[in-house]
């Protein structure tokens, strides 16, 4: 005999882990390539790249200390580009400072002491901007720790891991990076033009006329950005929404339901037929195992007429019957529709269990109807099912079965019982003995004793004629057939009576396919508001993923403003100027433009994953703004009073670090955004938001922010 698991979750874990590892490696290689390309110095690139493993070691140590495990959520949002942003700014400043100091040393090699001085001087000038930028990126994740419920369990580990990694990078950028730069960067004061220099010169050649002309149209440019932001809000409202993108588990689960009162033997026969159909018609099926009922398990009660079928599948790359999960599910449901009386709803094992654990309902969305009368509840539920069945994205609605359980009912004729002197208790004892049995003695086996229980045969217990022939004892010692004092018949009775918050409840459940949950439910709401008329005192609510989305959105409505407030306070602590703080803070709403349009272009609904991406984006978006405004202020302190000249020279000087930080942060997420591996479903919205948002944030930093600075700084000078 051999025991083999029919569903092995370690395979899914291994596939997801492989996806995470591959995305991190590819993202790391992209980051290193960009660093070396734009710095034009492989030593400088390696100094910055060395921050990645060191900061990750720090993060892993902190994860161990705080009990955070390594999984899809905790490691899936790490972007090496975010980690090295501070180091990029410092190393680029060091390289630039050494480059402009060549005349001072006239071709001679720098001594270690001279190199230390140059590194200290250059790093000190940029240290404040880089440090506060990283602090902002770190602290923007802290509001995520306020999340509770399912979204808290999923995204708190992510926030903690990213916080630890950036904290490690922050410490390294203030200590290790200057030291490593002084030790390992070339001390030769001579420099040969390389590919990086030619690339930056080309970019500056393109950028100079753009920034010059944009300053001539500052107010028009600012107004255009405001209009574009307003349009983006309209697009955002049309994105739809879902709680968390559905994970491709690689296996299916079928929820099977048959008529109330279906016997165990009939369920076994029907489910075996279903298994044979799936194995015969779909080569994707490796194995199918069915569990019928589970009333003996108090945490997951399920009657005999309900069953869960777990369907193990071959790898998706080998599928031939369908290309997508939803398509294969629909074909399987259609194939099983030939079985009389069987209702089938295809889903996934983990998805089904999560829905069940969270809301007690296995479908993605449930419409819960509350009231007192079971007949009214059932008719209302059937009405709801008929109204929503044709809504795009709604699978076949499932109506909770509360009626229709065949039951033998015995109705006593109390007058006749009284006439013969038979009490209700006496009649009940006879029926109890017939169905439940009565102890009539004991059976001894050595030193053990067993009750001897007598009751009617199983076939006779379902035979109305046999039941009518039961004899009731009379007070005078005679007997009387039960049929003379009672009416016995089969009647439909309640199968179950579910209560929630003290009220009777029935639900209509359905899964959502090919569409986001929010827009699906919003369309259903419009239909039910017009067409559904419930009896007085009856009402309905929504459960399942839509309820989770609403609750999570409510919490994020507090977390996101808190994150924005933290950013605003830290910006003011950095710049010590309200006007300049608002200049840099304007990067946040305009960076959101790119995130919204990126989701729209990729046909992705808003989700909690995307929201986390926006929070991460807001932190990164202000980093380059801080660096640029800091450079403008440096020129002002050095006596450069011409605002336009200050802007142009500052932008040209900081072009390289601005582009580098944007590219490493965005392209570091590129493997996640494009990945199709298992587990990438959760990563893609987050990465898409950051990439799209950084695109507009970079444009803002290089074009719009200088225009804002010029417009309002000029006005202030006139007022002065």
* Shared-domain flag, residues 652 and 604: yes
Residue 332 sits in the same domain as residue 430: no
CB atoms within 10 A of CB 109: 12
Mark whether 315 and 445 lie in a shared domain: no
% of residues, the chain, pLDDT over 90: 4
314-323, 500-509, 674-683: range with lowest mean pLDDT: 674-683
Structure tokens that stand for 276 in this block: 């044979």
Sign of the CA dihedral running 608, 610, 614, 615: positive
Domain C-terminal end among 493, 520, 544: 493
Name the percent of the chain in helix, strand, coil, to the closest 5.
Answer: 65, 15, 25
Are residue 699 and residue 672 in the same domain, yes or no? yes
Q: Does a structural domain hold residue 391?
A: no
> Does residue 401 surpass a pLDDT of 90?
no
Nearest CA-CA partner of 224 in 710, 623, 232, 601: 232
660-688 pLDDT per residue, tens: 888 888 888 888 888 877 777 878 888 89
> Which residues have a Cβ under 8 Å from the Cβ of 676 and sit 6 or more positions away?
none
How confident is the model over 185-242, as pLDDT tens digits? 777 666 667 777 788 888 888 988 988 888 888 888 888 888 998 999 999 888 888 8
Question: Do 137 and 37 share a domain, yes or no?
Answer: yes
- Banded model confidence at residue 719, pLDDT cuts 50, 70, 90: very low
The verdict on 477 and 581 lying in the same domain is no
Query: Is 371 domain-assigned?
Result: no
Does residue 412 form part of some domain?
A: yes
Amino acid 108: pLDDT: 67
Q: Is residue 90 part of a domain?
A: yes
Number of domains in the chain: 3
Per-residue pLDDT at 299 exceeds 60: no
pLDDT score for 28: 83
Domain boundary among 347, 377, 396: 347
Considering the domain architecture, whether residues 65 and 187 belong to the same structural domain is answered as: yes
The separation between the first and the last C-alpha atoms of the chain, rounded to the nearest angstrom, is 92
Q: 109-116 contacts: CB < 8 A, separation 24 or more? A: 109/187, 109/188, 109/189, 110/187, 110/188, 110/189, 111/187, 112/182, 112/187, 114/187, 115/182, 115/185, 115/187, 116/182
182, pLDDT greater than 60: yes
CB burial string 698-709: b at 16+ within 10 A, e below:
bbbbbbbbbbbb
The answer to whether residues 54 and 203 belong to one domain is yes
Q: What is the mean pLDDT of the chain?
A: 83
Is 63 among the domain residues? yes
Average pLDDT on 415-428 reads 88
Lowest mean pLDDT among 107-111, 162-166, 380-384: 107-111
Q: How large a percentage of the chain has pLDDT more than 70?
A: 95
Identify the domain boundary among 325, 347, 369: 347
- Average pLDDT score over residue span 507-522: 85
Cβ-Cβ contacts under 8 Å for 100 (sequence gap 6 or more): none
- Pair 56, 191 in one domain: yes
In a domain, 688, yes or no: yes
Is 496's pLDDT higher than 70?
A: yes
- Answer yes or no: is 549 within a domain: no
**What mean pLDDT comes out for the span 405-427?**
86
Helix (H) or strand (E) holding 487: strand 486-493
pLDDT at residue 155 in the model: 79
Q: Do 177 and 232 share a domain, yes or no?
A: yes
Laid out side by side, the sheet with 285-292 consists of: 285-292, 306-313, 251-257, 343-347
Looking at the predicted structure, is the pLDDT value of residue 58 above 90?
yes
Residue pair 116/684 in contact by the 8 Å Cβ criterion:
no
Asked whether residue 506 is assigned to any structural domain, the reply reads no
Higher pLDDT, 155 or 339: 339
Instruction: Give the range of the structural domain holding residue 711, as residue numbers without chain letter.
Output: 9-238+577-719
One domain for residues 30 and 178: yes
Indicate whether 261 pLDDT > 80: no
Does 104 share its domain with 54? yes
Residue 108 belongs to a domain with what CATH number?
A: 1.20.1640.10
Mind giving me the DSSP string for 421-443? T--HHHHHHHHHHHHT-EEEEEE
Strand partners, 367: 508, 542
What confidence score (pLDDT) does residue 189 get? 62
Q: At 265, which CATH number?
A: 3.30.70.1430
Beta carbons of 517 and 241 less than 8 angstroms apart: yes
pTM over 0.85: no
What is the sign, positive or negative, of the torsion defined by CA atoms of 423, 425, 429, 432? positive
**Residue pair 688/672 in contact by the 8 Å Cβ criterion:** no
Phi, psi of 303 (to 5 degrees): -70, 170
Region of residue 107 (phi > 0: left; psi between -120 and 50: alpha; otherwise: beta)? left
Half-sphere exposure of 697 (CA within 13 A, CB side): 35
The H or E element that residue 449 is part of is strand 448-454
């Amino acid at each position: 005999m051999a025991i083999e698991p029919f569903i092995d979750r370690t395979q899914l874990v291994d596939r997801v882990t492989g996806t995470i590892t591959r995305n991190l490696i590819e993202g790391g290689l992209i980051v290193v390539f960009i660093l070396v390309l734009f710095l034009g110095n492989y030593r400088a690139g390696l100094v910055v790249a060395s921050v990645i493993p060191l900061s990750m070691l720090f993060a892993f140590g902190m994860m161990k200390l705080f009990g955070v495990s390594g999984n899809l959520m905790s490691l899936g949002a790490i972007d090496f580009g975010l980690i090295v942003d501070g180091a990029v700014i410092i190393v680029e400043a060091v390289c630039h400072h050494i480059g402009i100091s060549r005349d001072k040393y006239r071709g001679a090699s720098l001594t270690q002491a001279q190199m230390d001085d140059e590194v200290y001087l250059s790093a000190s000038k940029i240290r404040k901007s880089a440090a506060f930028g990283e602090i902002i990126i770190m602290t923007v994740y802290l509001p995520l720790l306020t999340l509770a419920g399912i979204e808290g369990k999923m995204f708190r580990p992510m926030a903690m891991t990213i916080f630890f990694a950036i904290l490690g990078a922050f410490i390294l950028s203030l200590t290790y990076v200057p030291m490593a730069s002084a030790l390992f960067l070339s001390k030769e004061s001579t420099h040969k033009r390389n590919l990086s220099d030619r690339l930056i010169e080309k970019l500056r050649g393109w950028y100079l006329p753009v920034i010059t002309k944009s300053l001539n149209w500052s107010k028009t440019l600012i107004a255009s950005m405001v209009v574009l932001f307003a349009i983006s809000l309209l697009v955002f409202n049309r994105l739809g929404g879902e709680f968390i993108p559905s994970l491709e588990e690689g296996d299916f689960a079928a929820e099977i339901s048959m008529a109330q009162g279906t016997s165990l033997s009939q369920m076994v026969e029907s489910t075996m037929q279903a298994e044979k159909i799936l194995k015969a018609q779909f080569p994707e099926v490796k194995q199918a195992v069915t569990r019928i009922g589970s009333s003996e398990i108090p945490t997951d009660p399920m009657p005999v007429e309900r069953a869960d079928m777990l369907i193990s599948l071959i790898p998706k790359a080998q599928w031939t019957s369908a290309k997508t999960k939803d398509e294969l599910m629909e074909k399987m449901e259609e194939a099983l529709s030939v079985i009389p009386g069987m209702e089938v709803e295809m889903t996934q094992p983990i998805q089904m269990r999560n829905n069940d654990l969270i809301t007690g309902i296995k479908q993605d969305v449930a419409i819960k109807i509350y009231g007192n009368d079971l007949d009214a509840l059932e008719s209302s539920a059937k009405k709801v099912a008929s109204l929503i069945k044709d809504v795009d994205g709604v699978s076949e609605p499932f109506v909770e079965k509360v009626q229709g359980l065949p039951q033998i009912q015995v109705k006593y004729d109390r007058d006749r019982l009284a006439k013969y002197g038979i009490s209700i208790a006496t009649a009940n004892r006879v029926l109890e003995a017939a169905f439940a049995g009565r102890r009539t003695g004991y059976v001894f086996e050595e030193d053990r004793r067993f009750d001897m229980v007598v009751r009617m045969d199983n076939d006779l217990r379902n035979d109305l004629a046999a039941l009518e022939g039961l004899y009731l004892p009379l007070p005078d010692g005679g007997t009387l057939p039960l049929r003379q004092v009672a009416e016995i018949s089969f009647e439909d009775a309640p199968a179950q009576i579910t209560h929630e918050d003290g009220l009777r409840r029935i639900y209509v459940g359905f899964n959502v396919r090919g569409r986001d949950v929010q827009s699906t439910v919003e369309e259903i709401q419009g239909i039910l508001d017009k067409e559904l008329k419930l009896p007085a005192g009856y009402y309905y609510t929504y459960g399942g993923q839509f309820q989770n989305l609403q609750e999570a959105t409510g919490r994020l409505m507090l977390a996101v403003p808190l994150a924005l407030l933290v950013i605003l306070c830290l910006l003011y602590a950095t710049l010590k100027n309200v006007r300049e703080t608002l200049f840099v803070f304007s990067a946040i709403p305009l960076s959101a433009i790119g995130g919204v349009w990126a989701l729209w272009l990729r046909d992705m609904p808003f989700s909690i994953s995307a929201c986390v991406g926006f929070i991460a984006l807001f932190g990164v978006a202000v980093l380059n703004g801080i660096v640029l405004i800091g450079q403008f202020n440096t020129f002002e302190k050095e006596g450069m009073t011409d605002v336009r000249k200050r802007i142009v020279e500052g932008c040209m000087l900081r072009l390289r670090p601005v582009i580098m930080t944007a590219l490493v942060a965005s392209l570091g997420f590129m493997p996640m955004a494009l990945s199709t591996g298992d587990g990438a479903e959760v990563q893609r919205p987050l990465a898409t938001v950051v990439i799209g948002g950084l695109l507009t944030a970079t444009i803002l930093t290089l074009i719009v922010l200088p225009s804002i600075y010029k417009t309002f700084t000029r006005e202030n000078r006139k007022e002065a």
